[in-house]
Structure 1
Amino acid sequence: MRPLHSFFRSILFLLFLLMAMPVAQGQILKKLKKKAEKAAERTVERRVEKETAEKTDQVLDSILEPGKKGEVARDKDGNPIPQMDMPGQGDNNGQGEPNIKSSPGAKGGPEAMRVYSKFDYVPGDKMLFFEDFQNDFIGDFPSKWNTNGSGEVVTMNDSDEKWLELISGYNIYFIPDVPKLPEEYTIEFDVMAVGLSKRTSSTATLRVDLSDDSSFKEGANFVHAQIPFCQYSPIGITMANHVNNKREMYSTVRADLRDEVLNRPHISIAVNKQRFRLWVNEEKHIDIPRIVPAGAVINTLKFHMNNFKDGEERIFITNLKVAEGGLDLRRTLLAEGKVSTNGILFEVGSANIQPQSMGIIRQISQVLQQEQAMNLKIVGHTDADGSDDNNLKLSKNRAEAVKEALVSVYGISEDRLISEGKGESEPAGDNTTPDGKAQNRRVEFIKQ
């Protein structure tokens, strides 16, 4: 009887399998689909990583100082190692976090400026808001900001530079006290990222919001630009808007920013009525002609970050500058014979031009190339920090550096240019405030 029982058990088992086959097939298909997707993702990722590594080496070779070569360091698992450190951590000796260092691209010098020679961003010429947190105490939330979450001002090692650490969270906003935004304006800031790895979420983003709501809501009318910090795949920049509570645009523009976000990127945004443009370092990634809601009162700038691991993946910003304008300086120079700008930035206490300032110098060069009979005087001005003699010398050196950029990068004849420095003697703003100091650090171009 036992063989018969075994026979019936086998028949019953086969019947069970047949009945369960549709479910099993569905499960198997799902598993196969997931495996195929993962395999495809790994293949694409390996290909992209190889291409990115090759391109990154080329870019880094071009922006590092002549004779030096750099690459993005990675650990034994292939994860990028950010060149950063938090206050008091000391050297990166295998304990604590790595040292914070400036990005090679943030340095001045001929090679860096040549990389930025086609950079066409021009900042506004009327300062609305400037924030470097120099008037705030370490550990405090900055006095000219608001939030419904938390954050604090920090420094990095021995540097005098201060940063605001943003906190990740659902519907948490950081709102600077920027006056009502006009129709045409520009926004700039520096970002520092610490603790990123290949485990950083594909949804880890820093979002820049322009909204008609001045509190902690999205608003009925807004524009969002989401900057990705994911390291295992190139995610792209997501752009979205709402017009009267209705979505009109949602798109993701291809952009591989994995190396850029590890090396203190400089973000530049230009809004000209409905047009929205965004640059990361020297490269323009976004240029959408009609994304800002027409007729809406877009009056508030907000920052929002989400899906970062608490206490491990950290984001900091500094040098936030909002300015009205961002228009074509070439027309002003031709029409009025003079243009003054605080958009040409230098390293602190030096005459090294920050390469993201090249958009302005490029426009000046275009005027000189068109108007062959025109000669220019370049005048440098400083704020009142430091001694009169040092500021006079610094202003002269900075004017000379701008002249040298016009000559060496854009091929303008040296005999058409003269440079002069006036130090702190002709202030345009109040030297007791960050905004006023930023206005005073300016360069003038005067037709001769």
Structure 2
Amino acid sequence: MKRIFSYKQLFVFSLVLVCFASNLEAQSKKLKRPKSRVGISSVDSFVQESFDLYDKVYKYDGYAEAGTPLEDEDLDVLEDALDEVTALSESAPDILSDLDGTGALKQAKATLQINKAKKALKYSITTAKKLLVGSKNGDSEDEDDSEKTSDNEETSSDYDEDEDNDVEEVKNPNVSEGLEVYSKFDFVPGDKLLFFDDFSQDFIGDFPSKWNTNGTGEVVNFNKVEGKWFELKSGYGLYYVPDLKELPEDFTIEFDLLTSGLSTSTSSSSRFSIYLSDNAKFNDGNSNYIEVSIPLGQYAAFPFRVKNFFNNKVGDVNSDIQADIRTEILNRPHVSIAVTKQRYRLWINEVKYIDIPRLVEETNVLDFIKFHINHFKDGEERVFISNLKVAEGGEDLRRKLLAEGKISTNGILFNSGSANIQPQSLGIVRQISQVLMQDENIKLKIVGHTDADGNDANNLKLSKARAEAVKNALVNIYKISAKRLSTDGKGESEPVGDNSTADGKAQNRRVEFIKI
């Protein structure tokens, strides 16, 4: 599976290493990308491209450190990155010549950023080469690594925003995601995607392109937490509104939540609020809205708060629902919401905390989703969101499978580039198991599909592995006979959405169940 370097390639890499003679420790901390531009196009391009490659290699280094095996697709990406790094490093002398004739301050700033970019390139070369030739081992764990988890272990992520400090430190998330825990999880996501955003199409430091606000915020990433995250800012009357409207009667909302800097001194009024509203303006709503707020305080167990407001008057619900979710809040929880006509349900990870039959007093008037946070210490207590998915439906897949003999769902999620099922997906697998338990004569074929990222052969292999993972969950968790299940994979060959968009990719990553 692994590619072997040619001697020519290794020779080139060795030459490049000589060019950057400064010592660079194995990365337990992440180099910070400069936030401002110099104003010299060649320098700005060099710095941006260097850190883009650095981020790519750093991600795979994190996989290796966590013991996650690299697939052929990963190795292809790394090999391509090394080629790009080599070419980019060779352009450094030409870029330095572009500084001639510029002012002293601009030259100083440009030189500082070029040096940071060189440091990032050297790390990329040494680490990618180790990963590709299979020499990556535990030697990269240094004293800094051990220090990272000794204090404030509850903090999921943290970094210093001072540009002169060119590292950003992120604590290891203490996340337990055993599938068995989710075996009774009954949330079923909708099957018609209305909105999806993992911020993969946005630049780090920018406000996300598919959202609106009357405040501020930016997309960030971390060295120990996968993907990009949108940081919301705390403040009275600040709202974050995804570009989504005309919600149906039945829909589901899912997202991942990440926190940083929360402690026993965090205010009891520190909350993450989710609104269903009749407008997209920066208020709760005109005449109709629902607010559900999740407590993020840590020194005591604070309640969920739920209230509704319809036809310009306070509704029937204004409740505090007692719960202790302090541990969950610190460990990157997955939030799931299902609205079925008037009924409103909310889960944190596998546990349902809210189930109100008539919270939606009037249907077809709540067309927008808004988020709001308040009472957090600026720059110290921080809240991030990612993987927001809104889908129509949330229907009973059991009846559809029995009636039509086939269902397709993008609600079974896997870790990026792997066949590891994300545990919050087990609501769907559980419903499939109930169909099989009800009628022991039913046999199913499970077919996996991927998006078009990566090459065809790797995607075909991945789709088959994912179908097999679903089968194993049915067999091992729900005790379905393996003889009743067969699997296949189609890779990227049968898309149902546009692979150039995040929404389309999410639609294409799906699993089919077919009666045979």
> Which TM-score bucket, shorter chain as reference?
0.7 to 0.9
> What corresponds to 1:151 in structure 2?
217
> Highest CA radius of gyration, 1 or 2?
1
Tell me the TM-score normalised to structure 1 length: 0.78
Q: CA deviation at 1:180?
A: 1.5
**Residue aligned with 1:389, SS:** helix
> What corresponds to 1:164 in structure 2?
230
Note if contact 2:447-2:511 (Cα within 8 Å) is conserved in structure 1: yes
CA distance in 1 between partners of 2:416 and 2:404 (Å):
31
In the alignment, residue 213 of structure 1 is paired with which amino acid? N
Q: CA deviation at 1:81?
A: 3.0
Distance 1:373 1:192, change over 3 A: same
> What corresponds to 1:126 in structure 2?
192
Selected match of 1:233 from 282, 296, 300: 300
CA distances 1:179-238 after superposition (whole Å, capped 9, x unpaired): 311000000000000000100000000000000021111111111110011000000111
Selected match of 2:158 from 62, 85, 89: 85
Note if contact 2:155-2:173 (Cα within 8 Å) is conserved in structure 1: no
CA distances 1:258-307 after superposition (whole Å, capped 9, x unpaired): 11000000000000011000000000000000011314510000000011
Runs of 4+ in 1 over 6 A off after TM superposition: none
Is residue 245 from structure 1 mapped to residue 316 from structure 2 by the alignment?
A: no
Give aligned pairs, total. Answer: 364
Higher relative contact order (CA 8 A, sep 6+): 1
Is residue 421 from structure 1 mapped to residue 421 from structure 2 by the alignment?
A: no
**Residue aligned with 2:457, SS:** helix
CA distance in 2 between partners of 1:372 and 1:160 (Å):
40
Selected match of 1:135 from 201, 204, 227: 201
Q: CA deviation at 1:335?
A: 0.2
Selected match of 1:101 from 142, 162, 172: 172
- What RMSD in Å do the two structures reach over aligned CA positions? 2.0
> What corresponds to 1:271 in structure 2?
339
> What corresponds to 2:468 in structure 1?
400
Selected match of 2:374 from 306, 312, 334: 306
> What corresponds to 2:81 in structure 1?
none
Q: CA deviation at 1:82?
A: 1.4
- Structure 2 segments unaligned to the other structure (5+ residues): 1-148
Q: CA deviation at 1:146?
A: 0.1
CA distance in 1 between partners of 2:444 and 2:465 (Å):
17
**Residue aligned with 1:104, SS:** coil
CA distance in 1 between partners of 2:478 and 2:160 (Å):
41
CA distance in 2 between partners of 1:194 and 1:88 (Å):
14
Selected match of 1:338 from 406, 419, 442: 406
> What corresponds to 2:183 in structure 1?
117
Q: CA deviation at 1:254?
A: 1.1
Distance 1:244 1:283, change over 3 A: same
CA distance in 2 between partners of 1:383 and 1:289 (Å):
37
Note if contact 1:192-1:316 (Cα within 8 Å) is conserved in structure 2: yes
In the alignment, residue 101 of structure 1 is paired with which amino acid? N
Q: CA deviation at 1:85?
A: 3.3
Distance 1:198 1:221, change over 3 A: same
Distance 1:422 1:241, change over 3 A: same
Note if contact 2:170-2:224 (Cα within 8 Å) is conserved in structure 1: no
In the alignment, residue 278 of structure 2 is paired with which amino acid? D
> What corresponds to 2:323 in structure 1?
255
CA distance in 2 between partners of 1:227 and 1:147 (Å):
20
Selected match of 1:223 from 279, 290, 293: 290
CA distance in 1 between partners of 2:448 and 2:160 (Å):
34
Q: CA deviation at 1:98?
A: 5.6
Selected match of 1:173 from 236, 239, 246: 239
Q: CA deviation at 1:100?
A: 3.8
In the alignment, residue 301 of structure 2 is paired with which amino acid? P
- Structure 1 segments unaligned to the other structure (5+ residues): 1-72, 90-94, 107-111
Is residue 325 from structure 1 mapped to residue 393 from structure 2 by the alignment?
A: yes
Distance 1:194 1:446, change over 3 A: same
Selected match of 1:347 from 415, 421, 428: 415
CA distance in 1 between partners of 2:372 and 2:275 (Å):
8
Tell me the TM-score normalised to structure 2 length: 0.68
